[in-house]
A = this chain, B = another copy of it.
Amino acid sequence: MGSELTETNTSSDEVAPTLSAVAKRAGVSSITVSRVVRLPDLVAPETRARVEKAMRELGYVPNLVAGALASAKTNSVGVLVPTIANSIFADTVQGLSDKLEPLGYSVILAQSRYDAAREDRMLAALLSRRPEAIIMVGSPATEDGKRLLRHARIPIVETWELPIDPIDAVAGFDNYQAGVAVARHFIEHGRQHLAFIGGDDPRGTRRWLGFQDHALACGLQPPRRLILERNASGSVAAHANLPGVDAVFAANDAHAIGFMAGLRKAGLLRDGPAAAQPVAVVGLGDLEMGRLISPSLSTISVHGDAIGRTAATLTLERGGERRIDLGFELVLRDSG
């Protein structure tokens, strides 16, 4: 009575059963129940069976909040990404949680939306849940954020970059060199008028810098840079703002594909090989989609899931190398 949810024969009362409720029912002390849950080998088979029966009958679900407080272990990791939607970071989250979940860790996910203030708030929110480690994309944008992490005394893994003075561990690649690689490729294939399109987030900017520096070092005219909104639609119209440009490095594959849609409308896209393209296009991220479209998209291939898995490993193992360069690969297809 009083509850509209009673439905099984096993009494489902008002409140969630606790360890000691199970203990009472099984006729043991609560620490024994605790052991059945966490260290079953320490409990005699018969006792264990009795306790397990009581747990089943009561529908006992352990309270990890209390367990975490008592043991000072939350078995959780905080994950901070700029955004999870339509993005390569989803692969990283997938990779790291595939590694961590089987080990009993939970992932607490937060998004900064490329906003420094929100990033700081999210970092503080994550830390107040006392995760065993923090994995984030990039580095904290503010000194406050950095200080927060440095004082947290847990493993911190920065990803998707190789910061010079990391807080703790790093799993990423060299965005600057990625920019250099694309510029070199364009120049080797006779392109003269380069441009970069994409966001102005730290990683995009680093790609731009490498791209620009290499172009200048090779004596080309200064490449152009077009900063776009985060969604790819803006990139469709981008070529109108880039007259005379014959090679474009897009900060990610979505922008690259959007840009190609614009080229197509302008009659500047061929189904032939890269050499036939009036405007060469290279993206970054190696989306599956880029392989499927026509002309297929050349891209800097980065293994987002490997970054995630490596980051997870870095949170688990304290010793060993704390700075892992996963590298990247220039994959040439038909777009440039």
Contacts and interface: CB of A to CB of B under 8 A. Distances in A.
A24 interface: no
A266 interface: no
Contact of A91 (B85, B261, B292): B85
Given A66-B69, A124-B61, A150-B5, A294 B261 contact: yes
A80 to B, nearest CB: 11
Interface residues of A, number: 69
B293 A257 contact: yes
B111 A94 contact: yes
B97 A110 contact: yes
Contact of A128 (B64, B128, B147, B293): B64
Q: Which of A79, A127, A236 has the most CB of B within 10 A?
A: A127
A183 to B, nearest CB: 25
Nearest to A16: B153
A85 B111 CA distance: 15
Interface in A123-155: 124-130, 147-148, 150-153
B98 A106 contact: no
A18 to B, nearest CB: 12
A286 to B, nearest CB: 12
A221 interface: no
A68 interface: yes
A301 to B, nearest CB: 15
Contact of A61 (B128, B261, B291): B128
Contacts of A195: none
Given A257-B289, A289-B289, A292-B232, A65 B74 contact: yes
Q: Which of A8, A130, A289, A294 has the most CB of B within 10 A?
A: A289
A319 B113 CA distance: 31
Q: Which of A79, A125, A236 has the most CB of B within 10 A?
A: A125
A128 B62 contact: yes
Contacts of A113: 98
A68 B76 CA distance: 15
Given A107-B108, A130-B64, A261-B292, A12 B151 contact: yes
